[in-house]
Amino acid sequence: MSFPPKTPARFAPARTVGLIGFGAFGRLIAHHLAPHARLRAYDPVVAADAFGPDAEGVDLATAAACPFVILATPVPTLRTVARAIAPHLRPGALVADVGSVKVVPAAILRAELPAQVDILATHPLFGPQSARDGIAGLTVAVCPVRGRRSLRAAAFLRRVLGLAVVVTTPEAHDREMAAVQGLTHLIAKVLVRMEPLPGRAGGRRMTTRSFERIMEAVDMVRHDAPEVFSAIERQNPFAPEVRRRFFALAAELEAELDAADAPGAPRLALVR
């Protein structure tokens, strides 16, 4: 997503962006980039006339031939997509992905894309649910992979779109996200499987503020595509260790509670 504007607010009208993938996040990207660039979008399951007012539906080769190309595709399909667009990329183009993990995508793009193409791995730390009131002030991680245009990309994201930009490495990103996203989505998955939960059904609600905050977090990710959870937990090389530690500590706490309930365990005396 690196499109340095010639003015503080807009791209030059000739700027074109190729958008590969038009799912929920692809549509969110199109909505916020449309005022600043001409978007040419491709998605194999979306008809060319069904992209709406924010993007022009084109074939893969046309989208990949733009000077800026954004890959809004699931991580498991990224290598296939990278190989498909590689012959159509112009020298000096910038290709950015927007996946939830960065080590694996960065390695794939570095291996599959031509050497004369710049690569930027990005992760918008928000989605359609958290961005429903706008994206200004939300955070995006920017990981330069190849080429010199990453800082200009960060400047566009910060100055034009109003995002809070964190420049980092793919490894540092995934290490932090293993806990930040991994635990959030893991806990959400468990709580969704426990539904219906007390205080969430109709009628009088007997609940607490802390419980509601937890369920608000669950609601922000419950409708994410299954590929998102899979990428966060299976494509992040640091996620398994965080997950094992979480479950080990949960088991340790359960054992402590069971021990306290065992026959002969000390009991708290009631205060009279």
Give domain 16-168's CATH architecture.
Answer: 3-Layer(aba) Sandwich (3.40)
| Token digits of residue 243 | 């997950």
Please report, for the chain, the start and end positions of each structural domain, with discontinuous segments joined by +.
16-168, 173-250
Instruction: Please report where in the chains the tokens 């910060």 appear, as a residue.
Output: 158
pLDDT at 202 over 80: no
Q: What would the pLDDT profile of 159-190 be if each residue is shown by its tens digit?
A: 999 999 999 999 999 999 999 999 999 999 99
State the pTM of this model.
0.86
d(CA 165, CA 218): 25
- Residue percentage of the chain with pLDDT more than 70: 90
The predicted structure's pLDDT at residue 104: 97
**What is d(CA 165, CA 1) in angstroms, rounded to the nearest whole number?**
12
Digit-coded pLDDT (tens) for 120-154:
999 999 988 889 899 999 999 999 999 988 888 88
What gap in Å lies between CA 242 and CA 91, rounded to an integer? 40
Classify each residue of 34-56 as buried b or exposed e, where b means 16 or more C-beta atoms within 10 Å of its C-beta: eebbebbbbbeebeeeebeebbb
Mean pLDDT of all residues in the chain?
Answer: 90
Q: Which residues pair with 96 in a beta bridge?
A: 70, 120
